[in-house]
Amino acid sequence: MRLLANLALQNLGRRKARSLLLIAAVAIGSGVVFTGATLMRSIDDSMAAGFSRLGADMMVVPEGALTNITAALLTVEPTDLVLDADVLAKARIASVGRAAPQKIARVEHSGIGSHHDLVDLVGFEPAHDFTIQPWLREKLNREFRAGDVILGAGRDVPLGSQMLIFGKPHVVYGKLGRTGVGTHERGVFMSFETLEALAGAVPQHGSSRPAALAPGKVTGFLVELAPGATALQARFAILSAVKGAKVVTGDSSLSGIRQGLSALLQGILALMVLMFASMAVMVSVLFSAIITERRPELGLLKAIGARWPQIVGMMVVEAVIATGVGGVLGVTLGVLVMRLYERSLVYYLENIGVPFVWLDLPRMAAFAAAAIVLAAAIGALGAFYPAWRASRRDAYDLVRGEG
């Protein structure tokens, strides 16, 4: 009813200071929740992108293989020694989160570059890979498929052009960004299927072709630890389960940072939930006090024939207006804070090469709507019970300020 809605609005205007304080408190609460949720989600997405770029936690390679350890484990090194492709899958090691098998064959006379150039042909499984594809700087607008190759940043061939490798045509599907890791810079990346199809065309070195080209064999695995697992646990588990393998760890701090940040984000989420809960309690207490103060007015409304849903409705509308406005202001405040954040920290992070992926607009809008709706819902819930209780009292008790 319009008159009761007007009454609700005018009641808010009657106690301007209190209404403004309530709106401010809800604005701060919902602003923190909106900003926190958006930033957390953005950081989470950025971590997913950033950490996948940082590479694996460890490599599993044949025992005798030489390894070139870089800060970021992105590819295994070329070697003639191989492991069975299914060796880690069979071992079912709990501390291994993800394992990406790779085949590397260092070849010459491939048709790429000058005649004697050594070229690393790197095979990977697109479905399991987490160290090559995150570096894709540009790619064709379609799925990666057999016959496609991805080139390291050191090779300058246009996207979509045909590249002959040992006389066989391949399509340049994508190019990687600069990683600073040699194998990545000069490598030509392709699926296992594409690499194995080249085996017959690769000239033999001495008595045999590179062993990694054989089906069912891999040069090694890049391993990401399972959440909560330590590098030491994984190392012992792998060494005891996989005969003839050695484990090479990279920068051990990476998995620690990854796991630490995940825990931190969960902690922030818990704090946000607590903050929202405390806001709900505060609004409820405040409306309980407001309704106590306005018992005579509610009693008067009852006395002239207002039904209890009308009385409860008026109080709930009043609360929803106040907390809804607080929610809208909170989201606005949050957007301003994030603009500030974007101009300072995000700008700095991106300048030093750490990617920061903002949440896309539809999801950010959904978060904003959710924050406003939650704020309004808190107001509605906070006002409903004390209003309902008051509306059930005798009108005469309410008029006299009792009950």
Partner 1 sequence: MLVCRQVSKSYRTERGVVTAVAGIDLDVPAGRFAAVIGRSGSGKSTLMAMIGGLSRPSAGSVEVDGTDVWHLSDNALAAFRNEKVGYVFQFASLLPTLRLIDNVALPAMLGRRQGASGTYARAAALLERMGLGGYLDAYPAEISAGEQRRAAIARALINDPALLLADEPTSDLDEQTEIEIMDVLRTVNREVGTTLVLVTHNLALAEQAQQIVHIANGAIVA
- Footprint of partner 1 (CB under 8 A): 1, 3, 6-7, 10-11, 13-14, 297, 299-308, 310, 394-397, 399
For residue 21, how many C-alpha atoms fall within 13 Å in the half-sphere facing its CB? 7
User: Do residues 228 and 259 lie in contact, with contact meaning Cβ atoms separated by under 8 Å?
Assistant: yes
Toward partner 1, which CB reaches closer, 222 or 301? 301
User: Do residues 96 and 226 lie in contact, with contact meaning Cβ atoms separated by under 8 Å?
Assistant: yes
User: Do residues 253 and 51 lie in contact, with contact meaning Cβ atoms separated by under 8 Å?
Assistant: no
Rounded to the nearest whole angstrom, what is the least distance from the CB of residue 1 to partner 1 in the complex? 7
Distance CA 333, CA 34 (A): 9
Rounded to the nearest whole angstrom, what is the least distance from the CB of residue 50 to partner 1 in the complex? 55
At 184, give phi and psi (nearest 5°). Answer: -70, -40
User: Do residues 176 and 152 lie in contact, with contact meaning Cβ atoms separated by under 8 Å?
Assistant: yes
Toward partner 1, which CB reaches closer, 65 or 301? 301
Amino acid of residue 250: G
Toward partner 1, which CB reaches closer, 216 or 401? 401
Torsion angle of C-alpha atoms 250, 252, 254, 258, degrees rounded to 10: 130
User: Do residues 75 and 222 lie in contact, with contact meaning Cβ atoms separated by under 8 Å?
Assistant: yes
Distance CA 264, CA 39 (A): 13
Distance CA 212, CA 190 (A): 13
Rounded to the nearest whole angstrom, what is the least distance from the CB of residue 389 to partner 1 in the complex? 14
Rounded to the nearest whole angstrom, what is the least distance from the CB of residue 387 to partner 1 in the complex? 15
Rounded to the nearest whole angstrom, what is the least distance from the CB of residue 23 to partner 1 in the complex? 18
Rounded to the nearest whole angstrom, what is the least distance from the CB of residue 385 to partner 1 in the complex? 18
Toward partner 1, which CB reaches closer, 11 or 323? 11
Toward partner 1, which CB reaches closer, 227 or 309? 309
Name which of 104, 107, 99, 98 is nearest 82 in CA terms: 104
Toward partner 1, which CB reaches closer, 202 or 319? 319
Rounded to the nearest whole angstrom, what is the least distance from the CB of residue 375 to partner 1 in the complex? 24
Toward partner 1, which CB reaches closer, 251 or 397? 397
Task: Say how many C-beta atoms besides its own lie within 10 A of residue 199's C-beta.
Answer: 15
- For the chain, what is the largest distance between any 2 Cα atoms, rounded to a whole number of angstroms? 106
